[in-house]
Chain A
Amino acid sequence: MTTTQLVLISLGVLIAVLTVVSVLGLLPSLRIVPDDTHFDFTQFRRISFPISATLSIVAIVLFFTHGLNFGIDFKGGTLMEVRAKSGTADLAQMRTTLGSLGLGEVQLQQFGGPADVLLRVAEQPGGDKAQQEAVDKVRGALGESVEYRRVEVVGPRVSGELLGWGMAGLMLAIVAILIYLWFRFEWQFALGAMIANVHDIVLTIGFMSISQVDFDLTSIAALLTILGYSLNDTVVIYDRIREMLRRYKKMPMPQLLNESINSTLSRSIITHLTVTLALLALLLFGGHAIHSFTAVMMFGVVLVGTYTSIFIAAPILIYLGVGEHREDAKEEAPPAKKNKA
């Protein structure tokens, strides 16, 4: 029996025991967030907004100076994952062999075990045929000494299209979600969600720029998922705000927002914990093929997404004039300003 099986079986036993104990009602009640939490989240907007603005600018600057590490999906070229049959890959020797092929720079990178090498050949000038010739050359040079675990060749035309499609998809998703929110809520909510949205995407792109993970089709998938879940979270809070607006006609906006955030806080934290657990499992055990995908998602969904819904998406409604049309809105404005001091 392998260790993995042992771990899985013991976890299974744990579940069985916990289930029985739960059904019998023997477990103590667990409150991750105390019932009477009344944290003043909206006041933090005076800190969170400047921080977010600064971070966003940093991310944008990074994007233009540092750039993204475009993978072959968008840049074209060849990516190969090979495993040396001898058990250990001789990177230096491979480098000389491949360097003499006249294919420009061939990037070699060890990853996973000592035998595994990731090999990148930049896009060759001369169109699609030239890429194919490059792969044949590399295959010829490495011959039978390695196992070809993965070979990906993307020609210049396809890479251009993929990038175009990816970007168009991202825009389409944002617009479609906005229209939906506009129908379901008032326009201020849709606008607030969009600002939060763009903020998430900008920060995640900044993260990708710093970490230099491959930016490829899976990254677009990760961005879209982040978008979906960050909004999911925002919508839950907005739903509550809308409900509170209907119920408490006279409550000042900052207080109303605080109440809404506080009452959904427990849910936000528990859900993010479960998502984190799922992502953590993928990150630790899912293998390198989806490693950058989950890393980006972890950053976007867990770190940025939660922060955004609580500290950006909700408080920004104050500035967008939500609740101002209520009869007593004007009287509420002064106390909100007092908090500044």
Chain B
Amino acid sequence: MLYFTRWRALGIILTALIVCLFAVPNFFSEAQVKTWPAWAQRRLVLGLDLQGGSSLQLEVDSSYVKKEKLDQIRDDVRRVLREAKIVYTGLVTKGDAVEVRVKDADLQTTLAKLRELAQPIGGLMGSSGQRDIEVADAGGGLIRLGIPEPAMIERLRKTIEQSIQIVEKRVNELGTVEPIIQRQGNDRILVQVPGLQDPTHLKELLGKTAKMEFRMVDPSVPLDQAQQGGLPPDTEFLPAATPPPAGYVVKKQVLVAGGDLTDAQATFDQRTNEPVVSFKFNTSGARKFAQATQENVGLPFAIILDNKVISAPVIREPITGGQGQISGSFTVQSANDLAILLRAGALPAPLTVVEERTVGPGLGQDSIEKGELAAYVGSIMVVVFMLLTYRLFGVFANIAVCINVAMIFGLLSLLSATLTLPGIAGIVLTVGIAVDSNVLIYERIREELRGGRSPISAIDAGFKRALATILDSNITTFIAAAVLFMIGTGPVRGFAVTLGIGIITTVFTAFTMTRLIVAWWVQWKRPKTVPI
């Protein structure tokens, strides 16, 4: 137990030293560290509770995703049956399925036709063999088309992926520093923006689907008649974003959609000096828009965002340049927001904020200061206590604890782990616990000495017996930390990380550093008595 080969001792010290060195970047400013080689740049990341910032959890409206898909199936069924000249009745969306009724004679052909609509999940590369639509014969000529569970999950996954891209674009437009945007579970997105104090604006930006459409207004229908529901079949009533008027009757046909926009900027109208949003179409959008405006000179068209009419200008002349501007009683801020939304594109489904946690910079700074103070005071008290209790061996223990803490910081930096306030608590607690391994060893040495062993034999036996116990007792705590890591989020997870890493370094130092120090002392002193 007390004998180390030269190589082994060297290995232990080098390992400890290298791990400790990883903590070094934390003592330099970010700018300084940037000039270092990439492998040396890893450092601790302060959690949002310490540096301040906002964390939002957004949920994709899965019922909307489902409804969209069902609507699409319904339209496809109508198209297929019309093309095949099959007479049908009662084509409706009912609950989780689309239902349609055909004559018994047509049943088999219809089933075959409709089954062609189903695509393999995951496109051509999909290997599951499952299809995205389930066509079932419900008896009596009734056909039911449903979406199987795997298809729904796949669809949700795609929706989340697209949403994340859009969310990223929108958040980046805010010019924030290093936002974190990641998928969470099946239908959630986590957005963390360090330094953001008031997420109200961000929530506004993310809460809009930003589905942009250009459609013709139907001025032939009076508004009051429209509100009573007497509308021609190809039109609908949409409310105005800024009434009056309350809304417009617009054609259902979409002239150009937001997907055809290539750029949008907030500017000022040259004549009125009001904030406006100018936009550019891509080639196909420009062509469509030119054609539509040529055919409808003198008529109003509607610019629609998320089913609300922003403005409905009259077409004075054909717009062929593929450019235009939207005016609609904007403020500078709202014009800017609209430009951001149009540039970033539309979300495939609405997002809802289901969780928000924001910490202001003041509280974050306070927490850092308090955490640091607690850490210093706690460590110092433990160190003093160990000196009083074990004297020289207390010095050994304190050296081991210092190395231990340095290694914790090294490993945390190596993993670029997030340090949170509970995480600091975890480190302080580790200091309290780390000395336990020394206590176990020293108490055992004391016992062996009482049992009448010689100093060297007592120290040797003390280590041998105590190390097994140290391993056993730390593994139980490590299991608790591991579970905590799995279930926890944010600050709590930070606690689990420091606790877990603390346990690893504690066991390492107990098995190596403490032993090595004592072994050297024994070799050097050849003690007749043990001052413990």
B492: which of A30, A221, A236 is its contact (CB, 8 Å)? A221
Cβ-defined partner of A176 (8 Å) among B362, B432, B435, B479: B479
Number of interface residues of B (CB under 8 A): 88
A102, CB-defined interface residue at 8 Å: no
Q: Is the interface of B mostly helix, strand, loop or mixed?
A: helix
In the assembled complex, A39 has its CB within 8 A of some CB on chain B: no
Answer yes or no: B531 CB below 8 A from chain A CBs: yes
* A132 B203 Cβ-Cβ under 8 A: yes
- B526 proximal to A (CB < 8 A): no
Q: How far is the CA of A30 from the CA of B450 in the complex (A)?
A: 15
Answer yes or no: B269 CB below 8 A from chain A CBs: no
Could you tell me the distance between the alpha carbons of A37 and B475 in the complex, rounded to whole angstroms? 30
Most buried by B among A158, A243, A278, A286: A278
A327 close to B (CB within 8 Å): no
Q: Mark B89-118, 1 if CB is under 8 A from A, else 0.
A: 000000000000000000000000000000
Check A220–B425 contact: CB distance below 8 A.
Answer: no
Q: Is B146 an interface residue (CB 8 A)?
A: no
Contact for A158 among B355, B362, B384, CB less than 8 A:
B355
Q: In chain B, residues 148-201, which have Cβ atoms closer than 8 Å to a Cβ of chain A? A: 197-198, 200
CB-based contact B392/A169 at 8 Å: no
Contact check, A281 vs B428: say whether CB atoms are below 8 A apart. yes
Residues of A within 8 A of B486 (CB): 169, 172
Instruction: Give min CB distance, B438 to chain A, whole Å.
Output: 10
> Is A224 in contact with B480, judged by CB distance below 8 angstroms?
yes
Contact present for A278 and B432 (CB under 8 Å)? yes
B435 lies within 8 A of A274 (CB): yes
Answer yes or no: B370 CB below 8 A from chain A CBs: yes
CB-CB contacts below 8 Å: B388-421 with A: 388-389, 391-392, 394-395, 398, 421
Is the CB of A27 closer than 8 A to any CB of chain B? Answer: yes
**A153 part of interface (Cβ distance < 8 Å):** yes
Contact mask for chain A residues 263-284; partner B; CB cutoff 8 A; 1 contact, 0 none: 1101100110111111111101
- Judge whether B121 is part of the interface by a CB distance below 8 angstroms: no
Our pick among A172, A278, A289 for the contact of B431 (Cβ within 8 Å) is A278
User: Known contacts A147-B360, A149-B360; is A18 also within 8 Å of B387 by CB?
Assistant: yes
Binds A, one of B5-13, B19-27, B36-44, B373-381: B373-381
B380 in contact with A152 (CB, 8 Å) = no
Q: Is A331 an interface residue (CB 8 A)?
A: no
Q: Is the C-beta of B514 less than 8 angstroms from some C-beta in chain A?
A: no
A281 touches which of B49, B355, B381, B435 (Cβ 8 Å)? B381
* Cβ 8 A contact of B432, one of A165, A274, A286: A274
Q: Please indicate the chain A residues that have their CB under 8 angstroms from the CB of B197 in the complex.
A: 148
Given contacts A153-B356, A221-B484, contact A277 B378 (CB under 8 A): yes
Residues of B within 8 A of A132 (CB): 203, 353, 356
CA of A29 to CA of B370 in the docked complex: distance in angstroms? 35
Instruction: Kindly state the separation between the CA atoms of A161 and B417 in the bound complex, as whole angstroms.
Output: 25
Residue A38 lies at the interface, judged by CB distance under 8 Å to chain B:
no
B360 touches A148 (CB 8 A): yes
Interfacial chain B residues near A27, Cβ < 8 Å: 387-388, 391
| One of B66-74, B78-86, B257-265, B466-474 at the interface | B466-474
Partner of A220, one of B59, B358, B487, B499: B487
Q: How long is the Cα–Cα vector from A297 to B398 in the complex, in angstroms? A: 24
The CA-CA distance from A157 to B355 in the complex, in Å, is 9
Q: How far does the Cβ of B405 sit from chain A's closest Cβ, in whole Å?
A: 12
A22 touches B387 (CB 8 A): yes
Q: A15-B387, A27-B388, A277-B432 are in contact. Are A152 and B360 (CB under 8 A)?
A: no
Which of chain A's residues have a CB closer than 8 A to the CB of B465?
A: 243
Residues of B within 8 A of A147 (CB): 360, 362
Asked whether, in the complex, the Cβ of A169 is within 8 Å of the Cβ of B477, the reply is: no
Cβ contact within 8 Å between A228 and B480: yes
Most buried by A among B371, B394, B425, B472: B425
Closest Cβ of chain B: how far from A297's Cβ, in Å? 8
How far is the CB of A226 from the nearest CB of chain B, in Å?
Answer: 9
26 chain-A/chain-B pairs, Cβ below 8 angstroms: A19-B395, A35-B450, A83-B362, A132-B353, A139-B200, A150-B359, A155-B352, A169-B483, A173-B480, A173-B484, A177-B476, A221-B496, A225-B477, A225-B480, A225-B499, A227-B480, A228-B481, A233-B473, A236-B473, A266-B446, A273-B385, A275-B432, A277-B432, A279-B428, A281-B377, A289-B370
- Mark B residues whose CB is within 8 Å of A: 49, 57, 59, 197-198, 200, 203, 352-360, 362-363, 366-367, 370-371, 373-389, 391-392, 394-395, 398, 421-422, 424-425, 428-429, 431-433, 435-436, 439-440, 443, 446-447, 450, 465, 468-469, 472-484, 486-489, 491-492, 495-496, 499, 531-532
13 extra A-B contacts, CB within 8 A, seeds A181-B476, A274-B385, A290-B425: A22-B395, A83-B362, A127-B352, A148-B198, A150-B363, A169-B484, A177-B480, A184-B472, A218-B422, A240-B469, A282-B425, A286-B425, A287-B371
